[in-house]
Structure 1
Amino acid sequence: METWVLFLLSIVTILVNGIALSAILFRISEWGITPNRAAVLGSNVLVLINLLLVTAQLFKILFRKESLLHVGKSISWYLPVYFIWAIVVTFVFPFLFGFK
């Protein structure tokens, strides 16, 4: 039962993330790209990919009777991706956007 709740919550979260992603893309198309918008867009895309991976693992647990351990592994495997993005935003963005 708890796995079903997690699965449904992950689907709802993907939908909400899609709405947020569309809002970010709208702002970029209307007013142009800024360092903040680029950082938020990249973060949102990374979160969406992570959510899709977790949802896929939860789907496998529900319908293929796999272990819940795979969800934890997919979450912990993705943490370095967030770390790399934080490094890019911190050290590369200033050069890309001319220190603005």
Structure 2
Amino acid sequence: MAQIFREFTNVGISNSNLKPEDAEEMVIKTLYGTAKLLCEGNMGFDELIKRVATKGGITQEGIKVLEMRTPLVFDELFKATAGKNEYIKRTLNEEWVN
């Protein structure tokens, strides 16, 4: 997860005038607030998105991009890690048998 947020921070820095430490702090505080709302606010992902993404607003535009692009990234991520997991299991099994 840290890799995702590091990339988010780095892209934010390259697309703004933010100093790296300010961008990182902003992302960390946003993550903290989001986690707190999800854990303590009795709401799920859809409800939280509905509350923060004004229809036709800036956040909604970002969500549209995420909805289009992230499924492909996460699908590839899960396929890569599942493939590696299977490879390791096969390798360990072969070593154990031999």
Q: Which has the higher contact order (CA 8 A, sep 6+)?
A: 1
TM-score (norm 2): 0.35
The structure in which a higher percent of residues are helix is: 1
TM-score (norm 1): 0.34
